[in-house]
Structure 1
Amino acid sequence: METNSKVIERTNIKIEEPRKYKVIMHNDDFTTMEFVVAILNIIFNKSLEEANKIMMEVHKSGKGIAGIYPYDIAISKANKAMIMAKEEGFPFKLTVEED
């Protein structure tokens, strides 16, 4: 006697959103406002209006959020911005913190 039986396996896969990280810009007395706006525009894809708003927040309060991204992207953008700053002779600092 032949039976055609099928085994059905269920696997519960839990998909989670990746953790997000804030890229924080820190104010200093040497990096120009124009450079900060350019970094926000070029690296963080902010409009000029939004870049100016973030730059003023950094200037007035000492720091501001350039963007919120998955970890690898946040680190990559922060590093790219700091390399550009170093090439221009600015001591510009960015940090990455979990959101």
Structure 2
Amino acid sequence: MRTVVADQLAEGAKAWHWPSGWGARLAQCMPIWTAKSDDLLERRILPSEHLKQALLEAAGRAINMGKPLDLGVFLFAFVHDRIGIAASALEEHGLDRHRLACRIAHGAAMDGAERDDALAPGIDEARLVILNDDYTRMAFVVEVLESVLGMPPDQAQACMMQIHHEGRADCGVFPLAIARAKVEEVLALARERCEPLRTSLANA
């Protein structure tokens, strides 16, 4: 958690234009200093109702995903839960919960959009592809397919299962401008719900 937050702090510090990148280095080192002081002073997180709730949610999410209770699952639950103590602290410090969720889910700082540089120049249409991950809720994927891409419920459910089992699915061919607009609409909803759903555009 400290490393992920440190990366975001360092990126934000670059925008402050502190001399010689001093702010970025400070932001990267601060969580390390804090961790060391926690050990030296024997500081521990005290039990709280928020923490218990977040732990229960993490356990439930892991069971639903069929995954072991690893650090990534717990960390994602903390970030995803808007009323959790950790998520609240992140927002109070101006950190982007959705971006942190994507970092946890995908292992890199990204906002869920894949680059579409591979699109052939001059094309008029593109395929919108949705990619699988271990953290986005299935119900949210179905909601996106229905509300943004206009699929009927049965087709949306079948498409979601294809994404889940095959790792990706083509979700429609659209004029290029409309395809890009739909990608932005999907990502806007994902940011609002803090879901790390990924999309991509491919040649039609």
TM-score calculated relative to the size of structure 1: 0.79
Q: CA separation in 2, counterparts of 1:19 and 1:60?
A: 30
Structure 2 counterpart of 1:42: 147
Shift of 1:78: 1.0
Structure 2 counterpart of 1:57: 162
Q: CA separation in 2, counterparts of 1:82 and 1:72?
A: 16
Aligned length: 82
Matched to 1:35, the amino acid is F
Shift of 1:97: 1.0
Q: Structure 1 unaligned runs (5+)?
A: 1-17
Structure 2 counterpart of 1:9: none
Alignment partner of 1:81: what SS?
Answer: helix
Q: CA separation in 2, counterparts of 1:96 and 1:47?
A: 22
Alignment of 1:13-92 (within 5 A): 19-92=124-197
Matched to 2:200, the amino acid is T
Which is greater in Rg? 1
Structure 2 counterpart of 1:12: none
Task: Give the percent of matched residue pairs that are identical in Structure 1 and Structure 2.
Answer: 27
Structure showing the higher strand proportion among its residues: 1
Shift of 1:19: 2.7
Q: Structure 2 unaligned runs (5+)?
A: 1-122
- Point out 4+ residue stretches in structure 1 off by more than 3 angstroms: none
Shift of 1:53: 0.8
Shift of 1:98: 1.2
Structure 2 counterpart of 1:95: 200
Name the Cα RMSD after superposition.
1.0
Q: CA separation in 2, counterparts of 1:98 and 1:83?
A: 23
Q: CA separation in 2, counterparts of 1:45 and 1:74?
A: 13
Q: Deviations over 1:13-64 (max 9, x none)?
A: xxxxx73210000001111110000000000000000001110000000000
Q: Is the 8 A contact 1:19 1:98 kept in 2?
A: no
